[in-house]
Chain A
């Protein structure tokens, strides 16, 4: 089977100035974006291995905007979404969301469980397949970053939820809004070749984790 990983350049079309300007001296968005690209590349390779399909991923983006503007940027409002939520273990405050369109999650689960059709897919099998997928994808994402910066980043057990996109996201945006005026959101979109539905990995790293990752990376660059 021809497995390939292709990067597409991703231009953010938004009037609401999404961007990755280096605002905070201690946090270098460029470095974080680079780390994200490494992680996203590994996650996409893992997905490609599992599904034996070509996966297209967009260049990861960093959004540094007020939290309430994010639903407008994603513009997915009421799309039925299957989301898996993980946190980083230990002291690092970091929320990670893996979001699929509901039908796309069903298709992927069908492939993973070898069910003959979506109708035949057992619901509990579907849930555990998607949770397992999240473990593998996020696991390989974090392992890639861990290896690079020399920190041990481990995810907690995944929690799966199915609801409208905005309703899922707002829980995290509230948490962001409580912490600071601007949210720091890292995301990467990917899809299976020939499919329209894009899935997203959304990561909300805490300010401490952003600083820590930047410092560790700078040490590596300076050497």
Chain B
């Protein structure tokens, strides 16, 4: 945004307006100090009007359900991000699971860690927000097998996770509306609570909207 300022074309962001001139007595001399206006660059104003939602990170083995307009964000490799959306009440949540089955845990399992416990816990959290039973839909991403040497054929945890998550969703009668799973690359998932759109970004820049 260019303005004509005292005969010069200047960028809006570079104008500094003297707000207050104060006199200070410094060792017998008068020093003038300018307090500067904070000038907001045009680009920033534009970005604000674009209404970028606040991003909330969901850590590993964590479950977050929100009713506020936010974007839930997480990064997965072999883990799976399960996004469940309630389109009627415009709320939803995200679970970042690590393992397929909670049976391996000898003590009280952390619900967000396992596919079979995370799905019911997430559904419960969403229903607590909406207060009503309504049809939920799910989108999943992750379950990659990134290192060829790490997992042997008997231990492809990514594939096991995908299978377990799908089984858990089916058991709770939740429709799987979209998936981006498998492969050998990580994924960064942002889940818009309002629209229910899950955006999956691959490291190489490829974007998939679910």
Flag if A171 contacts B98 (CB, 8 Å).
Answer: no
Q: Which of B100-147 contact A (CB under 8 A)?
A: 104-107, 110, 113, 144, 146-147
Give the chain B neighbours of A169 by CB distance below 8 A.
77
Flag if A162 contacts B147 (CB, 8 Å).
Answer: no
Known interface pairs A68-B98, A71-B60, A167-B186; A174-B149 also in contact (CB < 8 Å) = no
- B residues near A, CB below 8 A? 57, 59-62, 75-79, 98-99, 104-107, 110, 113, 144, 146-151, 157, 185-188, 203
Query: Which residue in A78, A85, A181 is a CB contact (below 8 Å) of B149?
Result: A85
Q: How far is the CA of A95 from the CA of B151 in the complex (A)?
A: 12
What is the CB-to-nearest-CB distance from B15 to chain A, in angstroms, rounded to a whole number? 33
Give the chain A neighbours of B61 by CB distance below 8 A.
68
Closest 9 CB pairs of A and B: A167-B186, A68-B61, A167-B77, A166-B75, A68-B60, A163-B186, A170-B77, A163-B203, A170-B79
Supply 20 further A-B pairs (C-beta < 8 A) apart from A85-B149, A174-B79.
Answer: A67-B98, A68-B62, A72-B59, A77-B57, A95-B150, A159-B147, A161-B147, A163-B77, A164-B75, A165-B75, A167-B75, A167-B186, A167-B203, A168-B77, A170-B77, A171-B150, A174-B98, A177-B113, A181-B106, A181-B107
Interface size class of A (residues with CB under 8 A): 20 to 34
Q: Which of A164-223 contact B (CB under 8 A)?
A: 164-175, 177-178, 181
Known interface pairs A170-B76, A174-B78; A85-B147 also in contact (CB < 8 Å) = yes
Flag if B147 contacts A77 (CB, 8 Å).
Answer: no
Give the chain A neighbours of B77 by CB distance below 8 A.
163, 166-171
Q: How far is the CA of A167 from the CA of B79 in the complex (A)?
A: 8
Is A156 at the interface (CB under 8 A from chain B)?
yes
- Taking CB as reference atom, which chain A residue is nearest B184? A161
Q: How far is the CA of A69 from the CA of B113 in the complex (A)?
A: 11
Flag if A177 contacts B149 (CB, 8 Å).
Answer: no
Known interface pairs A78-B75, A163-B146, A167-B187; A174-B203 also in contact (CB < 8 Å) = no
Q: How far is the CA of A169 from the CA of B150 in the complex (A)?
A: 12
Give the chain A neighbours of B59 by CB distance below 8 A.
68, 71-72
Flag if B149 contacts A156 (CB, 8 Å).
Answer: yes
- Taking CB as reference atom, which chain B residue is nearest A77? B75
Query: Which residue in B99, B113, B146 is a CB contact (below 8 Å) of A171?
Result: B146
Is A139 at the interface (CB under 8 A from chain B)?
no
Q: Which of A69-109 contact B (CB under 8 A)?
A: 69-72, 77-78, 80, 85, 87, 95
Flag if B150 contacts A175 (CB, 8 Å).
Answer: yes
